[in-house]
Homo-oligomer: A and B are copies of this chain.
Amino acid sequence: MADASARSGKSLAPFRARPFLNLTGEEDAIRLTERQREELASIGVRVRVRPRTAIYQEQAPADSVFAVTEGVVKSYRELPSGKPLVAAFLFPRDLFGLAEGGRYVNAARAITDVTFYRLPVAELAVLLKHDADLAYSFLAKVTHELREAQRRALLINRPDAAGRLAMFLVWMGERVERTAGMPLVPLPMTRSDIAAFLGLTLESVSRTARALERDGLVKFEGRHFVRIVDPTRLARIVADV
């Protein structure tokens, strides 16, 4: 399945989640306690894989759940026609390994160099049923994933390609530190992946990207970076639903 893996006694890398229903309105992330991180680390295996490595196949027996600590993973499935459909991009602190009936509903593959923790569900379930706080944290995390899924659904609901792509770029930009003006946003995935995520064809993504660049909204630097040149107008396109 994975290239290299070694049991690790070190504490699990910071794993952040948001409350299921946040009454206070605070945006601060919940952090696991040191003990909880150690618990997870004790049952987990740290794995590092190279780009394009398959982490698990669609419909394979779901024996583990995964937590990204470094890099980007895509969760996807092949449609009957053979066209791929990307269900989600997973970034550090994200969980993946959604299953139904004991089998993974999607396949997962590394996009970049990736480090993740592999947590056997059998042992994880024991932990969760034993530690209400831990279960609560996972609940918060899955709730966050649910919001992301709804956001994506909202995104691909709009009929116009420009709006979809603009929304995607803004979304990707949100997870980069906006230190300097005109942030350089990394796009580790391929155009095909973006197309498969947005529900567009590769050609549409390519054309729309060029159009946004011609209009001076963004500037692509290489294939894996975008510079947001005119955030205001870009935001206007995004809001124009």
Contact = CB atoms under 8 A, between A and B. Distances in A.
A87 to B, nearest CB: 5
Interface stretch (A3-11, A145-153, A179-187, A214-222): A145-153
The interface residues of chain A, by DSSP majority, are classed as mixed
Contacts of A146: 98, 142, 145-146, 149
B199 A21 contact: no
A152 B45 CA distance: 33
Interface stretch (A131-139, A165-173, A205-213): A131-139
Contacts of A158: 199
A131 B132 contact: yes
Contacts of A27: 101
A232 interface: no
A241 B83 contact: yes
A240 B80 CA distance: 7
Contact of A99 (B21, B85, B159): B21
A20 interface: yes
A147 B158 CA distance: 21
Contacts of A199: 156-159
Given A83-B241, A87-B153, A146-B149, A101 B139 contact: no
A40 to B, nearest CB: 15
Contacts of A65: 20-21
Contacts of A130: 132
B147 A150 contact: no
A149 to B, nearest CB: 4
Interface of A: 18-27, 62-63, 65, 77, 79-81, 83, 85, 87-88, 97-103, 105-106, 121-122, 124-125, 128-136, 138-139, 142-143, 145-147, 149-150, 152-154, 156-159, 199, 239-241
6 A-B pairs closest in CB distance: A25-B102, A135-B135, A149-B149, A132-B132, A157-B199, A21-B121
